[in-house]
Amino acid sequence: MADVHSHAVRSKNMRAIKTRDTAIERRLSALLMDLGVAFHTQDPTLTGRPDFVVPQYGCIIFTHGCFWHHHDCYLFKLPATRTAFWLQKIEGNVIRDKRARIRLQEAGWRVLIIWECALRGREKLTDAALSERLEEWLCEGTDSAEIDTRGIRRLPDPEPTENS
């Protein structure tokens, strides 16, 4: 199936996608403030430019879009056009995410990934459920975890990638 937009229109649409202060980041920011957690955002000095840095708990929080970071959920759908391009682009993101997580953990940070599907969409978690999972992870001290619509799970230690 051909793209319904011209190259120029598609490029304009893609450039309009925000990389910071997104709706899911604003929702998570409000939840962290409600929990009384001090944080700062988009730290360019840290690998991966984490969405949230919580120094008090020694942790990093990333909000990952399910499409851009290839999450196995109903929000991820591989485009029917330029499939090879998108597979390569998304796989590059996954590799970059893994490298960032390895480097951050080696530097002593705990890493939490909160998937877009937990924050928006038909299966999103309620604010109360998400706050409970956030508070649980912050206080228990697990190295790395992820939160999605299925709940909170410890992430296995990542295997190093080439040049990690």
Q: Is 63 a catalytic residue?
A: yes
Question: How many residues are there in the chain?
Answer: 164
- Residue 49 inside a domain? The answer is yes
CATH code of 129's domain? 3.40.960.10
Is 69 tagged catalytic? yes
Task: Name the active-site residue from 69, 71, 148, 149.
Answer: 69
List CB contacts of 154: < 8 A, sequence separation 6 or more. 142, 143, 144, 145
Let me know if residue 90 belongs to a domain.
yes
The domain of 28 spans 18-154
| Distance from chain centroid for Cα 85 | 21
DSSP H helices, 68-126, are 83-106, 116-119
Contact 26, 76 (CB under 8 A): no
In this structure, is residue 56 part of a structural domain?
yes
The DSSP code sequence of 18-30 is -SSS-HHHHHHHH
**Whole-prediction pTM:** 0.84
The pLDDT tens digits for 25-78 are 888 999 999 999 999 998 999 999 999 999 999 999 999 999 999 999 999 998
Pair of tokens at residue 17? 């996608």
Give the number of domains in the chain: 1
Q: Is 72 helix (H, G, I), strand (E, B) or coil?
A: coil
Is 142 among the catalytic positions? no
Task: State the pLDDT at residue 21.
Answer: 66
- In the set 64, 97, 148, 149, the catalytic residue is 97
Strand, coil or helix: what is 154?
Answer: strand
To the query of whether residue 81 is one of the catalytic residues in this protein, the response is no
At residue 34, the 3 state secondary structure works out as helix
Task: Give the model confidence (pLDDT) of 1-37 as tens digits.
Answer: 455 556 565 455 444 454 556 888 888 999 999 999 9
Give pLDDT tens digits for 112-164: 999 999 998 999 999 999 999 999 999 988 789 999 999 899 988 777 656 55
Residue 16: the pLDDT is 47
In a domain, 66, yes or no: yes
How does pLDDT run across 86-98, given as a tens digit for each residue? 999 999 999 999 9
pLDDT of residue 155: 87
Tell whether 5 is covered by a domain: no
Q: How far apart are CA 120 and CA 49, in angstroms?
A: 22
Catalytic-role residue among 63, 70, 71, 149 = 63
Opening angle at CA 98, ends 124 and 102, nearest 5: 115
